[in-house]
Amino acid sequence: MSENNIFENTLKNFLSPIVDLLEDESVSEIMINGHDKIWVEKSGKIIKTEKKFADEDSLRAAVNNIAQSVGRKINDKEPRLDARLPNGYRIHVVIPPCARNGTTVSIRKFFSTSMTLKDYIGLNAMTVEVAQFLDIAMKLGKNILVSGGTGSGKTTLLGVLCERVPKGQRIIVIEDSTELSIEYEHVVFFETRIENEEGELEVSIEDLLKSSLRLRPDRIIVGEVRGSEAFHLVQAMNTGHKGCLGTVHANTAIDAMVRLEALSQGAGAKISEKALRHQVASAVDLVVQVSRLSDGSRKLVEVSEVLGFTQDNDYNIKQLYTLQDFNRDQEGKILGQIEPTGQEPSFMKEIKDLGIQFKSKKVLKKAA
């Protein structure tokens, strides 16, 4: 029986209490905190449902069958399961006694619906000016780090930016689990492989990044930078691979740079801390911060340029756009949008020299 057939059989026979949630496109994540407590995320809001499994044994049986359908095991020796399901969803499980509430499961759904910068504008997630600026940054081959928390929309924005790469280039995409959907004429997708039961055959993001450097990439895209591969990405950004992109978990642009530095240190390279920090600072051109706000909406909240270091030896971050207005409408929706701060990017001359028409409204207003 094929992997897909095994999984479909598991859905029908073991996951029947949540099948309708899995099929509901408005549900982006299902969170099971024991057999009788099931929550979902809808439109950025976490909602408790009335769904439940008959008992802990029923939920555990479902988890065991899911593990089997993807060629894995979960037991007392290996109480955690992290896997991509045949339909593209990502599942993570922790079982008792580590999970004190009972078997705990998160199923995160990834939809293939393609977004564009125009869609972001329509959702009030960014303004026309910010969309134009990011489009220009992609054309110029700026190295961009997309930063944000879990579920903030980092991967979705990364996919949108990738589709703004000018034609005629070769993109290599490296992910821990395939999530990005990119419509581009010349793109290569790599996905990691977890180790087997004997602890062998693992292929990491770092391994794939090293391989990508030998495959003549114009741009390297790392779906999520969260380990020592950060060092090799920084090296790629500093050695002629313009327009590299990646995402990182951080709450601000400065936090994103510090995290990238810390992850790079984990590679164990024989390089001084000072040299590493300067390489990290020179590698990244822009940090785009995204956030899931209290009303459930996802917005760009900051676009900043990295300009080396300050006199205090901190990362010099120049905010170009920030979310400045948190007023709400009658339904509680946040009305504010990301607006220009009045500061121009350092590469404004590069934009003008290429004949690209772009002027910030706020900068024009201040000059007037």
CATH code for position 173: 3.40.50.300
Residue 103 sits in the same domain as residue 149 = no
User: Which has the closest alpha carbon to 130: 301, 325, 244?
Assistant: 301
Q: Count of alpha carbons within 13 Å of 260, Cβ hemisphere only?
A: 34
Query: What integer pLDDT is reported at residue 73 of this predicted model?
Result: 84
Are 218 and 358 found together in one domain?
A: yes
CA 170 to chain centre: 21
Angle between helix 229-238 and 273-283 (nearest 10): 60
pLDDT for res 364: 45
Tell me, yes or no, whether 285 and 360 share the same domain: yes
The domain spanning residue 29 has which CATH number?
3.30.450.90
pLDDT of residue 101: 92
Cα(301)–Cα(169) distance, integer angstroms: 30
Neighbours of 177 (CB within 10 A): 18
Q: Specify whether 41 is located in the same domain as 170.
A: no
H-run or E-run covering 162: helix 154-162
The phi and psi torsions of 360 (rounded to 5 degrees) equal -75, 130
Same domain, yes or no: 170 and 58: no
How far is the CA of 232 from the CAs of 74, 130, 238, 359, in angstroms? 33, 29, 10, 35
User: Into how many domains does the chain fold?
Assistant: 2
Q: Which domain holds residue 279?
A: 117-367
Q: Please check whether residues 82 and 179 belong to one and the same domain.
A: no
Q: Which residue's entry shows tokens 């408005």?
A: 26
Q: What's the confidence (pLDDT) of residue 277?
A: 92
For residues 309 and 354, membership in a common domain is answered with yes
Say which DSSP state 153 is in. S
What does the alpha-carbon distance between residue 368 and residue 363 come to, in Å, rounded to a whole number? Answer: 9
Strands 45-48 and 80-84: unpaired
Residue 157's contacts (CB-CB under 8 Å, 6 or more residues apart) are: 120, 146, 288, 290, 300
Domain limit, last residue, from 108, 142, 166: 108
Are residues 232 and 168 both part of a single domain?
A: yes
Supply the pLDDT for residue 367: 41
Q: What is the pLDDT of residue 112?
A: 56
Give Cβ neighbours of residue 259 (< 8 Å, ≥ 6 apart).
Answer: 248, 249, 250
Dihedral (C-alpha) 135, 141, 146, 152: value to the nearest 10 degrees?
A: 30
Among residues 84, 108, 132, the one where a domain terminates is: 108
Q: Are residues 285 and 155 in the same domain?
A: yes
Distance (Å) of CA 124 to CA 20, 27, 39, 59: 30, 21, 27, 40
Are both 140 and 281 inside the same structural domain?
Answer: yes
Sites in the chain below the pLDDT cut of 50:
1, 364-368
84 and 150 in one domain? no
Out of 108, 139, 160, pick the residue that ends a domain: 108
Q: Are residues 190 and 63 both part of a single domain? A: no
Determine how many CB atoms are found less than 10 A away from the CB of residue 39.
15
Residue with tokens 């703004």: 164
